[in-house]
Amino acid sequence: MKERYQSKVAVFLILTREIEGQTQILLQERCNTGYMDGKYDTACSGHLEKGESLSMALCREAKEEINLDIQEKNLELVSIIHPYQEDYINVFFTTNKYTGTPKIMEPNKCDDLKWFNINELPENTIIRIRNVIKNMKKGIIYDDGDFSHQKIFD
């Protein structure tokens, strides 16, 4: 019997707010993780655990990583990426509805948590995140374009 392909699933939060007519996005600067340390990533992210839906996982991660309460019904799916050579499916949601004040809850994994204008991301933002935001603005939910190592990882 042929073995079926299996992927891990990761969820990502694109948290936004409107200030003086400008959309801002909350980004975290990664540290001590061994993956993209020193680069800005989405506000929070994590792996799907057994028995969780995608939205349940993201609500849990938001509480664990940035101390926010988010209701599943307030999450909007904005992107699915399948970098097949990594054996992951990455699912991105956005919301601007939450309770609490963003706060670094895992200082051993996050150096900075800051709001940026969505059109003026810091230079050290992960390329994949830049691509997701660009696609989100265009309404492109799934992009299985060139997933070469350089395009994904800068």
> pLDDT tens-digit profile of 29-38?
999 999 899 9
- At 11 the pLDDT is 97
Torsion angle of C-alpha atoms 50, 55, 59, 64, degrees rounded to 10:
40
pLDDT of 149 higher than 60: no
Q: Report the chain's mean pLDDT, rounded to a whole number.
A: 91
Question: pLDDT over 90 for what percent of the chain?
Answer: 78
pLDDT of 43 higher than 90: yes
Strand positions, DSSP E, 43-149:
44-47, 76-81, 88-95, 110-117
Query: Whole-prediction pTM value?
Result: 0.89
Q: What is the three-class DSSP state of 113?
A: strand
- At 84 the pLDDT is 63
Confidence of residue 106 (pLDDT cuts 50, 70, 90): very high
CATH entry 3.40.440.10 includes domain 8-145: no
Q: Which residue has the higher pLDDT, 150 or 10?
A: 10
Q: Count of CB atoms within 10 A of residue 99's CB? A: 9
Confidence of residue 147 (pLDDT cuts 50, 70, 90): very low
Beta carbons within 8 Å of 150's beta carbon, 6+ residues apart: none
In angstroms, how far is the first alpha carbon of the chain from the final one?
39
CA proximity to 110, closest of 54, 56, 36, 58: 36
Q: What is the three-class DSSP state of 19?
A: strand
